[in-house]
Amino acid sequence: MSAKLYRVQAGPEGYLPPAAASMGVMLPEEGESLVEGRIVPEEEAMQKIAEKILAAQNPVFFPGPLILWAWKEGVAEKAKAVKELAESAGAKIIPMPDYRPKYPMINPAEEINPNHPNLTIWHNKIDVCVFVGVHCHYANVALKIIRGGTDCYTIALCGEAGHEDAMITLRDAGLVKIRELTEIVSQMKGGA
């Protein structure tokens, strides 16, 4: 496929899907987001995230080490906001506590690991997942594997520059944006 035609969509995409960045997908600038490889205004992406989570059969949040431990000021508050967002959307939470490969010792009902994320997705029949608080490298490693082997729709709420390998990504997703997303989810639920 031509790099210019590449779209980041739910899989299973195949044996070894490419990194979206190598197919010409570029990360969003401030105030922008990515939806399936296209740059869109952040507000549009937030609406889309809320729609996807609310329409899912089994949406699950995957919080990573960056919000599982209160390692710096503000993290506990953000973690609480993420929990509120998940609860408000009716989503479950399965943590990604660390990154060391654990296969075959992992309990897929209880945790997810970036090196073999599909075990958790298949086991729990997850159709939409939300990465949050995962170090960028490990998130991208996992997002590509998920796209390759599952039909799970991936969303990444990134505190840094975002993730081309997720189907939807927000960048600079701090406390304010998480709360804003919760508000959008609540409004959408109320209106449904």
Partner 1 sequence: MIQQKVVEPEHLFFPAEREKMFITGSEAVKEAIKRANVDMAISYPITPQSESMHLVGDIYAEGYLREYFRGENEFAVMSAVAGASMGGVRVFTATGGPGTLRAFEIFSTWAGARLPIVCGFMTRGVNSPLTIQPDTIEMAFMLDTGIIMLHAENAQDLYEMILKAFVIAEKTDVHIPVGVFVDGFFVTHTRDKVEVAPPDIKLPPYDPYSAPVPVMDMENVPVRQMRDPFVMKSNFISYAAHASWQQEVLAAAERARKYIYKYLGGLVEAENADADILVITSGTAASQSREAIAQARQAGLNAGLVKIKSIRPFPAEEIKELTRKAKAVIVPEFNRAGWLCRELKAVVEDNTKVLGGPRVFGGMTMPPELILSEIRRCAK
Task: Decide: 120 and 94 in contact? Cβ < 8 Å.
Answer: yes
φ, ψ (nearest 5 deg) of residue 24: 95, 0
- Asked if 101 touches partner 1 (CB under 8 A), the answer is yes
Strand partners, 132: 63, 157
Other beta carbons within 10 angstroms of residue 37's beta carbon come to 19
The single residue among 46, 66, 157, 173 that binds partner 1, judged by CB under 8 A, is 66
- The residues, any chain, with a CB within 8 Å of residue 88's CB and separated by 6 or more, are 182, 185, 186, 189
Smallest distance, partner 1 to C-beta of residue 22, A: 6
Site for partner 1 contains 1 (CB under 8 A): no
Query: Which amino acid would we find at residue 33?
Result: S
Q: Which of 52/116 has CB closer to partner 1?
A: 116
Q: Return the number of other C-beta atoms located less than 10 Å from residue 176's C-beta.
A: 11
Rounded to a whole number of angstroms, the minimum distance from the CB of residue 120 to partner 1 is 12
Which residues in 131-190 contact partner 1 (CB under 8 A)?
A: 135-138, 140-142, 144-145, 148-149, 160-162, 164
Residue 12 dihedral angles phi and psi, to the nearest 5°:
-75, 130
In the list 13, 48, 65, 175, the residue contacting partner 1 (rule: CB under 8 A) is 65
Residue ranges in contact with partner 1 by CB under 8 A? 16, 18-22, 26-27, 65-66, 68-69, 71-72, 97-101, 103, 114-116, 119, 135-138, 140-142, 144-145, 148-149, 160-162, 164
